[in-house]
Amino acid sequence: MSVGDSLAAELMPVADIVPPSQRRVHLSDIISLVVLAGFWGASFLFMRVATPEFGPVPLIAVRVLIAALLLLPVLAARGGMSELRGNVGPLVFVGVVSAALPFTLLAYATLHLTAGFTSILNSTAPFFAAIVAYVWLGDRLSRPRVLGMVIGFAGVLLLVWGKASIKGNGAAMAMAAGFGAAVCYGVAANYTKVRLAKIGALATATGSQIGAALCWAPLALWQMPAAMPSLKAWLMVAALGLFCTAVAYILYFRLIARLGPARAVTVTFLVPAFGMLWGGIFLKEAVTWQMVVGTAVILIGTSLTTGLVRGRRRG
């Protein structure tokens, strides 16, 4: 199979929706989770650099606009524009709740909290997704999955313990914003599974980013910065739009279709580990034993939550 054929297969919609409790996790799903976590882990670094110059709303408006402009011609070339028709409302809703709003809340949080602390708040998304899935979709929370979420979050706390300092007077509002973003991810993941499961990941990613860009454009124009952001800030927002949004959301919506929302959103457990990794590579931060152990605990928790490692079943 060629690279093009492989990409085409990856972007096809999942026709058969298997209940989460019976859905197998394949190696490609685990690779997608790791790659997605790598992109989203880097997004905290990019936002910390660019947000002070752009402001949260203009930064995210440009981010989702870049993603929409990159994804739209790809969708058109693949003949997928017809998938957007009849799904405008759900796509706009998902664009706002899964991208524009949580991105803005996290960007605001990085103005007052360290990247480590913000990643802790972001890592609570699987709990909200699991609760919504249980209440709304009847997705049963088995003991191994609950245990996996607890272990995963414990790993996050171990990983960033001592690095999650709070600075500034707006810390309380920033923490509320971080938790609000996690709630948005939990709601949007389940809504996507219910309303957009029949269309492809590329169409969902494209339509949602277009909707997010259109909704956030008026707010961005109202809050445009007085001074032109630096070239470095523009490069950061370009990376956010291309890698952390356009490519990342294709992977994310594909994972929702394959694994279900509660499992797909466990990618946020891995994000702090990559945040530390990128900090070590690009900011020359030391890699300690605490980081290594914390990452290992997170991987164990994620494996249990996604079903890669299954608990013993009674006959």
Please indicate whether residue 99 or residue 306 has the higher confidence score (pLDDT): 99
Q: What does the alpha-carbon distance between residue 129 and residue 118 come to, in Å, rounded to a whole number? A: 18
How much is the average pLDDT of 220-236?
95
Q: Indicate the helix (H) or strand (E) that contains 174.
A: helix 171-195
The per-residue pLDDT for 80 is 92
Q: Which of 69-78, 124-133, 164-173, 292-301 has the lowest mean pLDDT?
A: 164-173
Across 187-216, average pLDDT: 94
The CA R_g of the chain, rounded to the nearest whole Å, is 19
CA 57 to mean position of chain CA atoms: 18
Over range 113-132, report the average pLDDT. Answer: 82
Lowest mean pLDDT across 63-67, 170-174, 281-285, 290-294? 281-285
DSSP 228: P
Top-confidence residue, 308 or 12: 308
pLDDT of residue 37: 93
- The residue ranking higher by pLDDT, 8 or 78, is 78
Beta-bridge partner residues of 113: 166
3-class SS of residue 113: strand
User: What is the C-alpha to C-alpha distance for residues 271 and 121, in angstroms, rounded to an integer?
Assistant: 11
Report the predicted TM-score, pTM, of the whole model to 2 decimal places. Answer: 0.82
Burial of 145 (0-12, 13-18, 19+ CB in 10 A): buried
| Cβ atoms < 10 Å from Cβ of 16 | 4
Average pLDDT, stretch 237-243?
A: 96
57 in Cβ contact with 104 (< 8 Å): yes
- Report pLDDT for 164: 58
Q: At 112, list the tokens.
A: 């007052």
For residue 178, which of 274, 79, 108, 268 has the smallest C-alpha distance? 108
Cα 259 to Cα 99, 193, 234, 277, distances in angstroms: 20, 10, 35, 26
Read off the pLDDT of residues 22-52 as tens digits, 9 standing for 90 and up: 567 788 888 999 999 999 999 988 998 899 9
- Contact by Cβ (8 Å): 155, 269: yes
Work out the pLDDT band at 252, boundaries 50, 70, 90. very high
Mean pLDDT (the chain, rounded):
84
The two three-digit tokens of residue 55, written as one number: 């402001």
Residue showing tokens 């124009």:
221
pLDDT for 16 equals 41
- Per-position DSSP letters for 122-171, written without gaps between them: HTTHHHHHHHHIIIII-----HHHHHHHHHHHHHHHHHHTTT--B-STTH
Q: How many CB atoms lie within 10 A of CB 282?
A: 10
Predicted local confidence at residue 163, as pLDDT: 61
Q: How far apart are CA 154 and CA 167, in angstroms?
A: 23
Structure confidence by residue, pLDDT tens digits, 254-294: 898 888 887 888 888 888 888 878 877 876 766 778 778 88
What's residue 107's pLDDT? 95
Give Cα separations from 310 to 21, 23, 149, 194 (angstroms): 11, 12, 13, 26
SS3 of residue 80 by DSSP: coil
Domain ranges of the chain: 26-144+167-268
Which pLDDT score is estimated for 253? 92
Q: Is 296 exposed, middle or buried (0-12, 13-18, 19+ CB in 10 A)?
A: middle
